[in-house]
């Protein structure tokens, strides 16, 4: 145990996700040894991010104003909405440069065992957005795990009667992997979603 403010810093750093007591101690001593200007810059960024960043009123993504960069961009295709669990999923899909539509961040997935139900997610906000006649396709890009699949089937149950094209991201083999190491569930889904070779 250290005394006073040093221990306070270690305790605060230890509350961050993925930072254990040893890592917290290491970061604290790194900050103590760092130049004052570097520490000041970190403090300013932390203060600024907390003051400026909020959630987009339309899609729930992180934003610096009422609307995020994607929702405010008139060049984006408004007919397709990609539904994701977290803001970091938006970044992952944006990296592909394959999708030019807009997003909707649910804020998680339905997980009864954790007490998270449909009303805890931004589903009713999605329904309100879909009332716009512009949207013709909803791409459900929740995680390919049990909670993500269940959330997708829940959404599909509501969205299909609305006459929209409801699609789900394909599941299958990762690029660069060996077939023999694929598990049965993934390989089974890859077979389900096989496509015609157009050569």
- Tell me the number of residues near another protein by CB under 8 A: 38
User: How many whole angstroms from its chain centre is CA 109?
Assistant: 10
Can you give 147-189 as a three-state secondary structure string?
Answer: HHHHHHHHHHHHHHHHCCEEEECCCCCCCCCCHHHCCHHHHHH
Which string of x and - marks every residue 91-130 that binds another protein (by CB under 8 A)?
-------------------xxxxxx-xxx---xxx-xx-x
**Under the criterion CB under 8 A, does residue 79 sit at the interface with another protein?**
no
d(CA 8, CA 156): 48
Q: Toward another protein, which CB reaches closer, 6 or 143? A: 143
CB 39 to another protein: min, Å = 26
Residue with tokens 């200007």: 37
Q: Site for another protein (CB under 8 A): which residue of 46, 145, 165, 194?
A: 145
CB neighbour class for 181 (10 Å; exposed up to 12, middle 13-18, buried from 19): exposed
CB 163 to another protein: min, Å = 7
CB 16 to another protein: min, Å = 12
* CA atoms lying within 13 Å on the CB side of residue 157: 8
Which string of x and - marks every residue 149-168 that binds another protein (by CB under 8 A)?
xx--xx--xx-xxxx-----
In the chain, what are the helix, strand and coil shares in percent, each to the nearest 5?
A: 50, 15, 35
**Under the criterion CB under 8 A, does residue 18 sit at the interface with another protein?**
yes
Task: Kindly list the residues in this chain that would bind another protein in the complex (CB under 8 A).
Answer: 18, 110-115, 117-119, 123-125, 127-128, 130-131, 145-146, 149-150, 153-154, 157-158, 160-163, 174, 176-177, 181, 183-186, 188
């Amino acid at each position: 145990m250290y005394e006073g403010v040093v221990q306070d810093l270690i305790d605060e750093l230890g509350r961050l996700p993925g930072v254990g007591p040893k890592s917290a101690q290491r970061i604290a001593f790194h900050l103590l040894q760092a130049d004052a200007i570097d520490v000041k810059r970190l403090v300013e960024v932390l203060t600024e991010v907390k003051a400026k960043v909020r959630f987009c009123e339309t899609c729930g993504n992180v934003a610096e104003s009422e609307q995020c960069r994607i929702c405010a961009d008139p060049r984006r295709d408004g007919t397709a909405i990609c539904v994701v669990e977290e803001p970091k999923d938006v970044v992952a899909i944006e990296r592909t440069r394959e999708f030019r539509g807009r997003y909707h961040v649910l804020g998680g997935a339905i997980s009864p065992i954790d007490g998270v139900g449909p009303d805890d997610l931004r589903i009713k906000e999605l329904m309100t957005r879909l009332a716009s006649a512009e949207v013709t396709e909803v791409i459900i890009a929740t995680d390919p795990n049990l909670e993500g699949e269940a959330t997708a089937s829940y959404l599909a149950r509501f969205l299909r009667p609305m006459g929209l094209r409801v699609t789900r991201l394909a599941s299958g083999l990762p690029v660069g992997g060996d077939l023999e190491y694929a598990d049965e569930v993934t390989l089974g889904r890859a077979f389900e979603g096989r496509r015609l070779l157009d050569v």
